[in-house]
Amino acid sequence: MPTCKICNRRFKRLTSSHLKTHDITLEEYRQRYGGKKAVKRCTYENIRSDWKCRHFISADSKSDLCILHQPGPKKDIKLFEETLKATIKNHKNDATLDAIHLEGTHFPVDFLLRFETFNKYLEARDAVYHGKFELSKSRFEKGADFGRSTFKRTVMIRGVVFEDITKFSRSTFEGKVEFNRVEFRGVTFAGAVFCKRTAIRHSVFHDFTSFRFTKTPEPDGFLAFFFNRFPSGRETWFENNDMSKVSLNESDLRFCRFRNVKWVQPTWPATPRKCLADEFKNYEDKRPFSRHLDRVRSSYQQLKLNFEESRNFSEAGDFYYGEMECRRKAMGNRRFLPNLTTLYWLSTGYGERPLRAGLMLAAVTIAWILLLMFGGLQPGDENSGYSNIHYLPRFDFSQTQPFINDFFHTFSYVREILLREEKSDRIFSPVIGKSSWIDGNSINTIGFVIVYLQVLLLILAIRRRYRR
């Protein structure tokens, strides 16, 4: 009776079905153990998945690990590929197993899966990929676990469908990463480290998605999202992320949640406004920056609606400000010319800056007073208080006291104009010019309109800010 030289069991006939339990084919068995004696089993054990390796190794092996679990890239490549292929095939066909177990494997060469369908959960956590990692046009019906793995080189996942929960949590990506047209139904990247640029394009996240505590270390770590969909249902979470290393171009952000994230803040002018990194640089393509700002404006709109729905009105106001800033910057050099958007920004910060609106109100009032002082008013017949000094561009300290007196007299006059107080005993009257295109009455009319408009904008800004 033949004896299995791996487990020393006796059989009437040694068949492939028995050798399949050792993750080996009949042909490989004959090549390896033709006249030799099996000695020991691989000692690899993964306590997280409660899995013990089923491979056996020969007696004279210096390692207690099989070819899959031996660390480092220096291995017998041919033997590794044959063992890997047989393991995947046997685990897919073994009805006693509910997963394909590749955890703890050290891949010395490129790991390529193309046009494959897995009807079992792919358990590949704690693995090390020394070569390129590529999944293409494949389907994982039960999901996969690549958690706590290390990807030394490029990761390319294209046209792949994960029909159940997929995990990349606490994995380290040392090379560039690209997800293109991938469909997820529940995925977590919690705690993952992206050392190079990671691009996630044209993908759909149907269910719970987590980017919590992901790290993008300097200098090259970066996460770029482009044309992705995060549908409603369960939410997409960004938590404790550095958003200065994240691009969210043309992605659906209405159902994303942000907690304790570090937003970009402008350095000039230095303000506490929360911004997207995309507002200051185009990370995706060579589209003209003015056109790029149009799609950034769309991202700001979605973030504004997102935060308003969650009752976070302070940050919603920042994103509305960012939306309007993108509209203004998209005008290019025309934004420095007088137009409604620029004036709205200058006068009240798009209705989000009550302090700026108050300062602008003070500025236009002072400008009105100075215009009247320098040529808009003249002393009355019985003037005893208005000095009627012809002020020069250069400041003369001898005029300080008269200037201050005249300033407050003129301020009183402006206040009377604003309150529509008609007085017959005013110490001065508007200059009426016969040849000039502007005179005292014209200054008063323009000042009256501008000041009242600014008062209205101030009230609207205060109402917008504090009704929340």
Q: What is the pLDDT of residue 437?
A: 58
CB atoms within 10 A of CB 263: 20
pTM over 0.85: no
pLDDT in tens, the chain (468 residues): 567 767 767 776 667 777 777 777 766 776 666 654 545 778 999 888 888 998 877 766 788 899 999 998 888 899 899 889 989 988 998 888 899 999 999 999 999 999 999 999 999 999 999 999 999 999 999 999 999 999 999 999 999 999 999 999 999 999 999 999 999 999 999 999 999 999 999 999 988 899 999 999 999 999 999 999 887 666 899 999 999 999 998 888 888 999 999 999 888 777 889 999 999 998 888 788 888 999 999 999 999 999 988 888 889 999 999 999 999 988 887 777 888 888 999 999 999 999 999 999 999 999 998 888 877 776 665 555 555 545 544 455 666 777 787 788 888 888 888 888 776 556 666 766 655 556 778 888 899 999 999 999 999 999 887 766
Tell me if residue 437 falls in helix, strand or coil: coil
Closest CA to 241 of 266, 218, 259: 259
Among 31, 63, 52, which Cα is nearest to 101's?
A: 52
Q: Which residue has the tokens 């050290």?
A: 106
Q: Which of 218, 275, 279, 211 is CA-nearest to residue 249?
A: 279
* Cα–Cα separations (whole angstroms), residue 375 to 349, 388, 449: 32, 9, 19
Question: At 421, is the secondary structure helix, strand, or coil?
Answer: coil
- Burial state string for 44-73 with b = 16 or more CB within 10 A and e = fewer than 16: bebeebebebbbbbeeeeeeebbbbbbeee
What are the domain boundaries of the chain?
A: 77-89+97-336, 354-466
Q: Which residues contact 206 (CB under 8 A, 6 or more apart)?
A: 183, 184, 185, 186, 231, 233
- Count of Cβ atoms closer than 10 Å to residue 74 Cβ: 10
Q: What residues have CB less than 8 Å from 232, skipping those under 6 apart?
A: 254, 255
Distance between CA atoms of 254 and 72, rounded to whole angstroms? 44
Secondary structure, 3-state, 75-133:
CCHHHHHHHHHHHHHHHHHCCCCCEEECCCCEECCCEEEECCEECCEEECCCCEECCCE
Contact 120, 143 (CB under 8 A): no
198, 176 contact by CB (below 8 A)? yes
C-alpha span between 286 and 297 (Å, rounded) = 18
> For 154, what's the count of Cα atoms within 13 Å in the CB-facing half-sphere?
11
Radius of gyration of the chain (CA): 37
Please name the residue ranges forming H helices in 140-247. Answer: none
Distances (CA, A) of 108 to 72, 128, 171, 450: 7, 9, 18, 73
Cα separations in angstroms, 447 against 159, 270, 322, 336: 64, 31, 31, 23
Neighbours of 267 (CB within 10 A): 8
Contact (CB, 8 A) for 33 and 8: no
Tens-place pLDDT, residues 202-228: 999 988 899 999 999 999 999 999 999
